[in-house]
Amino acid sequence: MNRRDTLLALIALGASPLAAKAQQAGKIWRLGYLTLSSGPDEMVEAFRAQLRALGYIEGGNLSIEYRWAAGNLERIPEMAAELVRLNVDVIVTRTAIVALAAKGATSTIPIVMANAADPVGMGVIASLARPGGNVTGLTQNSMETAGKRLQLLRDLVPKVTRVAALIWEPGRDKVFFLEEIRVAARKLGVTLVLQEVGTPEALTSAFGAMRRERAQALIVQTTPFARNNRKLIVELAAQHRLPTIFESRAFVDEGGLISYGPSLVEMFRRAATYVDKILKGARPADLPVEQPNTYELVVSLKTAKALGVTIPQSVLARADEVIR
Which pLDDT value is given to residue 143?
55
Strands 295-300 and 258-262: antiparallel
Residue 255 phi/psi, 5-degree rounding, is 125, 5
Which pLDDT value is given to residue 15?
43
Q: In the predicted model, is pLDDT for residue 22 greater than 90?
A: no
Which pLDDT value is given to residue 147?
82
Task: Report the distance separating Cα 313 and Cα 319, nearest Å.
Answer: 10
Which pLDDT value is given to residue 20?
41
Give the domains, in start order, of the chain with CATH numbers: 3-141+264-293 (3.40.50.2300), 145-262+296-323 (3.40.50.2300)
Q: In the predicted model, is pLDDT for residue 303 greater than 70?
A: yes
Task: Report the distance separating Cα 97 and Cα 171, nearest Å.
Answer: 8
What pLDDT digit, counting tens, does each position of 60-117 carry? 999 999 999 998 989 999 999 999 999 999 999 999 999 999 999 999 999 999 999 8
What 3-state DSSP class applies to 272?
A: helix
Which pLDDT value is given to residue 21?
44
Task: Report the distance separating Cα 268 and Cα 137, nearest Å.
Answer: 10
Q: In the predicted model, is pLDDT for residue 13 greater than 70?
A: no
What pLDDT digit, counting tens, does each position of 176-235 carry? 788 888 999 999 999 999 999 989 999 999 999 999 999 999 999 888 889 889 999 999
Q: In the predicted model, is pLDDT for residue 23 greater than 70?
A: no
- Among 132, 127, 91, 119, smallest CA distance to 283 is for 132
For range 255-282, the mean pLDDT:
96
Whether the Cβ atoms of residue 257 and residue 307 lie closer than 8 Å to each other: yes
Q: Measured at the alpha carbon of residue 250, what is the angle toward residues 114 and 136, in degrees to the nearest 5?
A: 5
Which pLDDT value is given to residue 24?
52
Residue type, 65: E
Strands 162-168 and 321-323: unpaired
Which pLDDT value is given to residue 11?
42
In which element (H, E) is residue 196 found? strand 191-197
Which pLDDT value is given to residue 16?
43
From residue 192, give the alpha-carbon distance in Å to each of 74, 120, 255: 30, 27, 24
Q: In the predicted model, is pLDDT for residue 320 greater than 50?
A: yes
From residue 18, give the alpha-carbon distance in Å to each of 2, 23, 108, 231, 315: 17, 9, 17, 45, 49
Q: In the predicted model, is pLDDT for residue 155 greater than 80?
A: yes
Which pLDDT value is given to residue 113?
98
Burial of 275 (0-12, 13-18, 19+ CB in 10 A): buried
Task: Report the distance separating Cα 211 and Cα 214, nearest Å.
Answer: 5
Whether the Cβ atoms of residue 247 and residue 226 lie closer than 8 Å to each other: no
Burial of 258 (0-12, 13-18, 19+ CB in 10 A): buried
pLDDT tier at 3, thresholds 50, 70, 90: very low
Q: In the predicted model, is pLDDT for residue 12 greater than 90?
A: no
Q: Which of 10-24, 184-198, 238-252, 303-317 has the lowest mean pLDDT?
A: 10-24
Task: Report the distance separating Cα 174 and Cα 177, nearest Å.
Answer: 5
In which element (H, E) is residue 181 found? helix 174-188
Provide the CA 45 distance to its chain's centre, in angstroms: 14
For range 9-24, the mean pLDDT:
43
- By residue count, the chain amounts to 324
What 3-state DSSP class applies to 30?
A: strand
